[in-house]
Amino acid sequence: MTFFTSRMQAVQSPIIPIIGELIKNSPGTISLGQGVVSYNPPPEAIELLPKFLAEPTNNLYQPVEGIPPLLAALTAKLSTFNGIEINSENCIVVTAGSNMGFMNAILAITSPDDEIILNTPYYFNHEMAIAMAGCQAVLVETDENYQLRLEAIAQAITPKTRAIVTISPNNPTGVVYSQAALHQVNQICGELGIYHISDEAYEYFTYNQVKHVSPGAFASSSKYTISLYSLSKAYGFASWRIGYMVIPQHLLVAVKKVQDTILICPPVISQYAALGALQAKDDYLKENIGAIAEVRQLVIADLHRLKSLCSITPADGAFYFFLKVHTQMDALELVKRLIQEYKVAVIPGTTFGINNGCYLRVAYGALQKHTAKEGMNRLVQGLQTILNSIKENIDYK
């Protein structure tokens, strides 16, 4: 029997399960791989669950775009933190995480063979979603510090372009884009009648007095800016699958068609938990992100020990560093050796669209201080030993 080829064969396999299997087969490995935090949701999230359980109708389907109390809480948060006012030109849709928000957006604004501009290194699930939709990801390289190259972005636009995607704070590099750069991208989109998709999942994770900027707050941007948010990171909500998107009002019908087909409605119990989380005291985010900032300093100190072996770009956001390793070795092969021989896991840069060199993403959000120190020691020792042995072999030959 002959089977037809599925569109999914053209979609890359997600790297996290692959690395997870390698870790499983190497017990005791410390993961500097997956982008999660170590702390739990605030108690306010759990305290609201009895309210969900007390109402029998909560076991039935609820509105596609989210329950009204959560939409109201998000409206207030967006105004206070992001400077985005919900008005007649835009609206909020609660999603099962911001990944779903991105897929909602792509399906709502494209037809097959349309183009979406991604800046490389990209977030791999974005590229995968574009491929699944039958569209083309047009890749634009960032500069040596992983900042946006605005002229290159403008030159990549064609009649088939439907959106430019920015991620700030960035995954996988951890860099934060300036207000000026984001504003210029947003202006290009407005002038050309395309969308600016702004992924802001790491909005709370900025350091050194750097402030987060939301393009959706720019004047007159509501009609073409799609902003994506998540509770997974800041509120320890990874498995609860709750995010939300701010979209132009004219996209609501299309987005609801997508969401009703795939999800029907966001998990209502998780929406109640999210409503509680948004009522958490300010100290919750301050203390937990402050602890990650302390781990970040330990990671930076250890990365300096690799200066002769890697190029390390400063990063003021998220909880990642993206290393350029000075070797011709295949990135995935290097990752496998680090796990199997040194019991430390990182993510290869190839999964983020970087194939011209050996790059590694180091994630530190899930680590306590003592684990971070041990994990970084293993990474430093592993890279020093592996790379020096390669150099010796080349010199010997």
Region 9-34: mean pLDDT is: 89
Q: Which range marks the domain in which residue 18 is found? A: 13-41+282-390
Over residues 133-142, the pLDDT tens digits come to 999 999 999 9
Same domain (yes/no): 112, 211: yes
Over residues 212-235, the pLDDT tens digits come to 999 999 999 999 999 999 999 999
pLDDT at residue 397 tops 50: no
**Domain boundary residue, one of 277, 304, 327:** 277
Over residues 141-152, the pLDDT tens digits come to 999 999 999 999
- pLDDT bin (cut points 50, 70, 90) of residue 396 is very low
pLDDT at residue 246 tops 90: yes
Same domain (yes/no): 128, 214: yes
pLDDT at residue 77 tops 70: yes
Same domain (yes/no): 112, 186: yes
User: What is the domain count for the chain?
Assistant: 2
- pLDDT bin (cut points 50, 70, 90) of residue 14 is confident
CA distance to 170, 204, 228, per residue, from 81 (Å) = 18, 9, 14
Same domain (yes/no): 99, 210: yes
Same domain (yes/no): 267, 288: no
Higher pLDDT, 309 or 33: 309
Same domain (yes/no): 52, 195: yes
Mean residue pLDDT across the chain: 95
Please identify which residue in the block is written with the tokens 């000075």. Answer: 326
**Domain boundary residue, one of 277, 303, 335:** 277
The CATH number of whichever domain residue 296 belongs to comes to 3.90.1150.10
Same domain (yes/no): 233, 97: yes
The CATH number of whichever domain residue 136 belongs to comes to 3.40.640.10
Question: Is residue 93 within a helix (H) or strand (E), and if so which, with residue range?
Answer: strand 90-95
Q: Do the domain assignments include residue 93?
A: yes
Over residues 149-187, the pLDDT tens digits come to 999 999 999 999 999 999 999 999 999 999 999 999 999
Q: Do the domain assignments include residue 396?
A: no
pLDDT of 392: 54
Region 57-82: mean pLDDT is: 97
Q: Do the domain assignments include residue 6?
A: no
Which bin fits 209, alpha (ψ -120 to 50), beta or left (φ > 0)? left
Q: Do the domain assignments include residue 318?
A: yes
Q: Do the domain assignments include residue 167?
A: yes
Burial of residue 157 (CB within 10 Å: 0-12, 13-18, 19+) is middle
Same domain (yes/no): 236, 188: yes
CB atoms within 10 A of CB 359: 25
According to DSSP, the β-strands at 310-312 and 320-325 are antiparallel
Cα–Cα distance between 236 and 289 in angstroms, integer?
11
Region 11-16: mean pLDDT is: 84
Over residues 254-307, the pLDDT tens digits come to 999 999 999 999 999 999 999 999 999 999 999 999 999 999 999 999 999 999
pLDDT at residue 33 tops 90: no
Same domain (yes/no): 247, 304: no
pLDDT at residue 394 tops 80: no
Same domain (yes/no): 304, 227: no
Q: Do the domain assignments include residue 4?
A: no
pLDDT of 391: 66
What predicted TM-score, i.e. pTM, was given to this entire model? 0.95
Over residues 373-388, the pLDDT tens digits come to 999 999 999 999 999 8
Give the torsion sign (CA, 141, 143, 146, 150).
negative
Region 7-31: mean pLDDT is: 89
Which structure tokens are listed for 264?
């029907």
Same domain (yes/no): 74, 197: yes
**95: closest CA among 276, 204, 229, 5?**
229
Region 350-364: mean pLDDT is: 95
Same domain (yes/no): 82, 149: yes
**Domain boundary residue, one of 232, 261, 277:** 277
pLDDT of 393: 53
Specify whether the CB–CB gap between 49 and 269 falls below 8 A: yes
pLDDT at residue 243 tops 70: yes
Q: Do the domain assignments include residue 395?
A: no
Q: Do the domain assignments include residue 35?
A: yes
pLDDT of 6: 83
CB atoms within 10 A of CB 270: 23
